[in-house]
Amino acid sequence: MKFTQKYNNAVTGVIAGLVLPVIAFMVFFLLTGKGLTFGDYFRKVEAAGNITSIMSVSVFANIIIFLLFNRLDMLRASRGVLGITIAWALTVFAIKLF
């Protein structure tokens, strides 16, 4: 069984769609943290009111995995990534609203 056939399911897309924004946030933290601890960095971001902005940038990384799955003709996995991306977007919208 080929790799693309084995992992072409919605669960793979959902897991990738959840994990990649977390990795993107960690990279963002490493690039902009300037020696702060993770807790201090998060408090600084929260005090500045930038949580939704950073969440949006982190979720934007999902487009990479979406396009990769689409290019490899893994349409079920692409569907999972798209679903999680929509859920992330609704979460950002809800946080922004309240």
Count of beta carbons in the 10 Å neighbourhood of residue 66: 22
Residue range 39-64: average pLDDT? 92
Mean pLDDT to the nearest integer, 75-93: 96
**Residue 24 has what pLDDT?**
94
Alpha carbon distance 55, 2 (integer Å): 34
Q: Is the pLDDT of residue 75 over 80?
A: yes
The pLDDT of residue 1 is above 80: no
